[in-house]
Amino acid sequence: MEEDNSPTTATRGKKDKQLHLRCSVEERQQLEERAKKSGKNLSEYMIDCSLGAEIKEPLSAELRRQLVATSKNLNQLTRLANAGKLNARGNELLERIIAGLYQSLV
């Protein structure tokens, strides 16, 4: 995974300048929706987009819950595998969990 080295709004310093731009009502609504999905306010979102920062949407509560549950299962299976107590069915289950995690994250 490539590291994002672009500065974020939190590291850019004092905000004492204003920038005005023109857009349609629809464009403004789209920008506000995207900013909200990213967990940023409109100003932060616009600056990050303009400066090339990668905008990531936060995980939904449901996806976070599923990842936590799957991680717990994976941890239990890993302990069994390390103790040499994992049978063929456990190995198969472990492989499915890993594949599912990979699909969720990609």
Of the candidates 40, 71, 64, 54, which has an alpha carbon nearest to the alpha carbon of residue 1?
A: 54
Average pLDDT over residues 66-82: 82
Per-residue pLDDT tens for 31-73? 999 898 888 899 998 988 888 888 777 777 888 888 888 888 8
Q: Name the pTM for this structure.
A: 0.47
Of the candidates 37, 103, 100, which has an alpha carbon nearest to the alpha carbon of residue 69?
A: 100
Of the candidates 22, 62, 54, which has an alpha carbon nearest to the alpha carbon of residue 38?
A: 54
